[in-house]
Structure 1
Amino acid sequence: MLQVNLLPGAINEIMVSVADNSYLTKSDCYGLMAAILDESITQEERRSVDRLLRSVVRGKVQMVSQM
């Protein structure tokens, strides 16, 4: 089975980037995917990922292919 390792602090960096730019890059999306698959993230980190995904669904955050 493929093991996905999340970089330490990656979720916080993605949150700061989205707060500054209001968009997610493709690499941000892969980071979020790794976070979702990582069972060792904290409850706070899980809530942050959920907030980001809700923002995308509501149209507050755009997804871009390259930046």
Structure 2
Amino acid sequence: MPQVTLLPGAINEIMASVADKCPLTQSDRYGLMAAVLDNSLTEEERCSIDRLLRSVVKGKVQVA
């Protein structure tokens, strides 16, 4: 099974993209998956991901 790794700065890039009203792309979703599987995330990064996922569920962030 291939190992999924998080690119440095990926969370910040995804958050900035979504803040600019860009839809969440498939590559963004893979980045989020890698982030969730990464045990070295900071608490701030985990909170950012949680906020982003809540925004998707509420329909505030579009998914491409």
Superposition TM-score, scaled by structure 2 size = 0.92
Provide the alpha-carbon RMSD of the alignment.
1.2
Q: How many residues align?
A: 64
- Code of the residue aligned with 2:29 in structure 1: it is C
Higher strand share: 1
Q: Distance in 2 between matches of 1:46 and 1:33?
A: 12
What does residue range 27-46 of structure 1 map to in structure 2 within 5 Å?
27-46=27-46
Give identity over the alignment, percent.
Answer: 73
Gap regions ≥5 residues in structure 2:
none
2:53 pairs with 1:23: no
Gap regions ≥5 residues in structure 1:
none
